[in-house]
Structure 1
Amino acid sequence: MLLGSSSSIYASLSDRAKLVPSLSSSAPFFNSVKGVRFSRRNVGYGVVAMASKEAKNQQVLDIAFEPFEEVKKELLVIPTLPHASLARQKYSDQCEAALNAQINVEYNVSYVYHAMYAYFDRDNVALKGLAKFFKESSVEERQHAEMMMEYQNKRGGRVQLQTMLMPFSEFDDEEKGDALHAMELALSLERLNNEKLLNLHSLANENNDVQLVDFLESTFLVGQVEDIKKISEYVAQLRRVGKGHGVWHFDQMLLNGDVAA
């Protein structure tokens, strides 16, 4: 029995030796895949391990792919009607309506700034620096409205533009002067706009709309604080210079981009 067992062991080792290249007593064998060094004693183990790995890979390839149960449920809620948005997901009607209202706010602020630009560009006013500032501000607010419209479409909402109010066309003030009066009005507009944005931000938080929160924080809220700070400094400077030559000097600095604020 012992001789029979020994012969079977030798036969098994002989079969394994046929599966690997011939080895010399002085040259080690290296696994070409993982770079693991094998000696003559563990060659058989390496061959068995490789064969086992190939078998497992074959089992994985034989498995047919099936959608997860969550995906099956999601397929049921994708709309099939042609007028319904396919991109809309976790976007409440409240947030959609509030964003449309904010678009209207941005357009109204832009409209007022454009009226200020037209006023200071008159030949009998001729404050070109202030005209330039309010024209750029008008373009910026209109760009904000367009960014919100693009986001509304991106989330699957419907853009609904609303009526804009006619702005003032005269900004002269006997006590303050036109420059200070217009700049204080601009500060009030920015503060009001910021309050509306914060209300929209709060509504998005209440509806757990993390994507809308991120859009507002990363695109508008930081810049709004900076604009309020900048215009506040302009108001403070105009209050110091009065209504005479100081306004012209302030205007020239605005025109040339040299205002300290």
Structure 2
Amino acid sequence: MKLFCVFLVALACVGGTMGNGLKCTLKPANVPTSWIDIVDPCVKVMESQVKTEIAAAMKYLAMGAHFARDTINRPGFSKFFFESASEEREHAIKIIEYLLMRGQLTNDVSKLLKFPVILNNNDTNIRQEWLSAEEALSDALKLEAEVTRSIRNIIITCENPKETETSSFNDYHLVDYLITDFLEEQHKGQRDLAGKLSTLGKMMQTHGQLGEFLFDKKLLNGEI
């Protein structure tokens, strides 16, 4: 069967070379578009969310790199923030995959991203240094809150999108997907960061800089 498919593709390429030199051209398939029902406002906010997730990933990468420096040497925090960056990148991929499932992004997916990626209009640069791990965790919590608000805005838009012929349109599947797969994780992540920030603050009040060192060791071993 595989050989038969290869043979068919080879025939198509040979047919293409007859009129276009050595260029292999295949005509696009004639696929109906009636199954594509996601409205444009939803597509736009979902595409914007891809950029938001990538921007968050880049900020976490900056945090991870900062605490990995030999002059800082906090491997626990570095590992935590690098893992957080991977999670944000995976979120961006999940959104892209969802849009593809709904018949969107059929052209150049790379157009979604423009560098430098920014989270919002007031944030044109990615921070490179933090005075303490406590400050970094606080920034991370604020970042997650911004991402959560962005997801909620998508839900609001897709429950009752404007600029459409059918104003009563409600994309139940997309809304359910975001609530189940994204908001649940966002709220748990925020609670986890708030707990870590609280514990670290108490340890530093009691032990000073040694508290941050001990917290980092526990974070590295997965004990916090």
Report the TM-score, using the length of structure 1 for normalisation: 0.63
Q: What code does the residue aligned with 1:230 have?
A: D
Match of residue 47, structure 2, among 100, 119, 124:
100
- Whether 1:126 aligns to 2:77 is no
Post-superposition offset of 1:171: 1.1
Post-superposition offset of 1:154: 0.9
Structure 1 segments (4+ residues) deviating >4 Å: 81-85
Q: What code does the residue aligned with 1:255 have?
A: L
- Report SS of the residue matched to 2:56: helix
Pick closer, same or farther for the CA change 1:183–1:200 going to 2, 3 Å.
same
Pick closer, same or farther for the CA change 1:153–1:200 going to 2, 3 Å.
same
Q: What code does the residue aligned with 2:53 have?
A: E
Number of aligned positions between the proteins: 174
Matches within 5 A, 1:147-162: 147-158=94-105, 159=109, 160-162=111-113
Match of residue 197, structure 2, among 208, 232, 235:
235
Partner of 1:218: 180
- 5+ residue gaps, structure 2: 1-27, 119-124, 162-169
- Report SS of the residue matched to 1:237: helix
Post-superposition offset of 1:93: 0.5
Residue deviations 1:175-229 (CA, integer Å, cap 9, x gap): xxx1011000000000000000001011111140011112112211111100000
Q: What code does the residue aligned with 2:156 have?
A: S
Report the TM-score, using the length of structure 2 for normalisation: 0.73
Match of residue 180, structure 1, among 105, 110, 134:
134
Give me the whole-angstrom Cα distance separating, in 2, the residues matched to 1:224 and 1:85.
37
Q: What code does the residue aligned with 1:169 have?
A: Q
Residue deviations 1:122-150 (CA, integer Å, cap 9, x gap): 11100000000001000000000000001
Matches within 5 A, 1:190-229: 190-207=144-161, 208-229=170-191
Between the aligned residues of both structures, percent identity stands at 30
Post-superposition offset of 1:87: 7.3
Q: What code does the residue aligned with 1:171 have?
A: W
Residue deviations 1:68-110 (CA, integer Å, cap 9, x gap): xxxxxxxxxxxxx869874752210000000000010000000
Q: What code does the residue aligned with 2:128 have?
A: S
Give me the whole-angstrom Cα distance separating, in 1, the residues matched to 2:79 and 2:212.
15
Pick closer, same or farther for the CA change 1:150–1:239 going to 2, 3 Å.
same
- Whether 1:168 aligns to 2:124 is no
Post-superposition offset of 1:246: 0.3
- Whether 1:137 aligns to 2:91 is no
- Whether 1:246 aligns to 2:211 is yes
Pick closer, same or farther for the CA change 1:191–1:82 going to 2, 3 Å.
same
Post-superposition offset of 1:245: 0.3
Post-superposition offset of 1:155: 0.6
Pick closer, same or farther for the CA change 1:91–1:248 going to 2, 3 Å.
same
